[in-house]
Amino acid sequence: MVYTRASILMRRDFIVIGGGIVGLATALRILEAKPGTKMLLLEKESSLGRHQTGHNSGVLHAGLYYKPGSLKAKLAVEGLRQMVDFCQRHGVAHEVCGKIVVATEPRELPRLEKLLERGSANGLQGLRKLSPDQIREIEPHAAGLAAIHVPEEGIVDYAGVVEAMAREIQRLGGEIRTGNSVKRLKGTGGVWRVETEQGGFEARQIVVVLAMAREGYTWGNIHIGDLTESLAFPGLWKFMLKYPSICSYEIWRSVSRNEFCRSLQKLVPEICEQDLEAGSAGVRAQAMSSDGSLVEDFSFVEEPGILHVVNAPSPAATASLAIGEYVARRLDLKSAK
């Protein structure tokens, strides 16, 4: 990309840092709320959606699991409906095929009841409990003692969503610059200066939606700096000491094809190792407190002229448009010319 000095020096109303689905949805919702806003989105990679957004499961999650009243529950349900509408309007491949959540052991039955309560409290429509026969009517290969049917959930091509969002941002006059890794932010006199290797950009307000560079997608891909930093964080050790069996089992299950297959057979008894193919891995950006507990809800930190999206784990892809709307409402759109 060739930049002219004038375009680099032009002061924007907003700079959004991070070209994943949450950054794109935020830029889009700001432009829709305030047409004519001078918007710049900066992404360090050579194309958009290369990290969590490009390595996720492609599921349209509803708000079944999330605590009623939490931001996650609210934005997941709103976001799911907004995402389906967006896909319909922009011709993005998706299917609202529904999901079943299955209890395979008696001790899971009370948890299923709780999920049903949560889903209803979160406003999901059409939830119903299924008997073993009803499970097989919907999914002939699944087995279980009981299940919940969640008809609003589905699957989607998030890469297609990213492309459509980028097109919309540009149609509304926003600018997207890939290959721009932000190195430093400096705020003085109500203006933020954003430094990248390509040069500096200025804006009145900044949104940071970046996932802090943990980018190893294979077991052999170890970044010593990231590893050292993670191991130096006391919360990680407390988390591992609190849940030793879960941590070791998850590692064991991801390296053992046999164990992975056995865990799947609880849900789909006829599946066998030959049916499994290795897929690509994902790296989840998840905030953790220093006491080792995971930050469950979506989380944002604000200071004058800058809003940081500090925790946007799953289902943030589904909820991205609702997150973008939420962020746009918290920004000072009036100051945009």
Binding site for ligand FAD (CB under 6 A): 17-23, 42-45, 50-53, 55-59, 61, 181-182, 209-211, 213, 282-284, 312-318
Q: How far is CA 176 from CA 34, 55, 102, 195, 321, in A?
A: 17, 21, 43, 16, 18
Q: How far is the CB of 142 from ligand FAD (least distance, A)?
A: 19
Token couple for 267: 């849900």
Full DSSP string of 36-101? T--EEEE-SSSSSS-SGGGGS--EE--SSSSPTTSHHHHHHHHHHHHHHHHHHHHT--EE---EEE
Q: How far is the CB of 266 from ligand FAD (least distance, A)?
A: 21
Q: Which residues are CB-contacts of 279 (< 8 A; sequence separation ≥ 6)? A: none
Closest to ligand FAD by CB, 21 vs 30, is: 21
Question: What's the distance, CA 91 to chain centroid?
Answer: 21
Closest to ligand FAD by CB, 20 vs 144, is: 20
Closest to ligand FAD by CB, 221 vs 335, is: 221
Closest to ligand FAD by CB, 146 vs 162, is: 162
Closest to ligand FAD by CB, 45 vs 297, is: 45
Q: How far is the CB of 121 from ligand FAD (least distance, A)?
A: 20
Rounded CA-CA distance 155/146 in Å is 23
Cβ-based neighbour number of residue 161 at 10 Å: 27
Q: Do residues 144 and 102 lie in contact, with contact meaning Cβ atoms separated by under 8 Å?
A: yes
Q: How far is the CB of 110 from ligand FAD (least distance, A)?
A: 26
What's 288's DSSP letter?
A: B
Q: How far is the CB of 131 from ligand FAD (least distance, A)?
A: 28
Token couple for 206: 């900044």
Token couple for 184: 């430093």
Q: How far is the CB of 70 from ligand FAD (least distance, A)?
A: 15
Q: How far is the CB of 283 from ligand FAD (least distance, A)?
A: 6
Rounded CA-CA distance 320/281 in Å is 21
Q: How far is the CB of 79 from ligand FAD (least distance, A)?
A: 8
- Residue 300's nearest CA partner among 273, 335, 333, 329 is 329
Closest to ligand FAD by CB, 22 vs 322, is: 22
Cβ-based neighbour number of residue 332 at 10 Å: 12
- Residue 301's nearest CA partner among 322, 316, 290, 287 is 287
Closest to ligand FAD by CB, 46 vs 274, is: 46
Q: How far is the CB of 128 from ligand FAD (least distance, A)?
A: 23
Closest to ligand FAD by CB, 271 vs 283, is: 283
Closest to ligand FAD by CB, 50 vs 90, is: 50
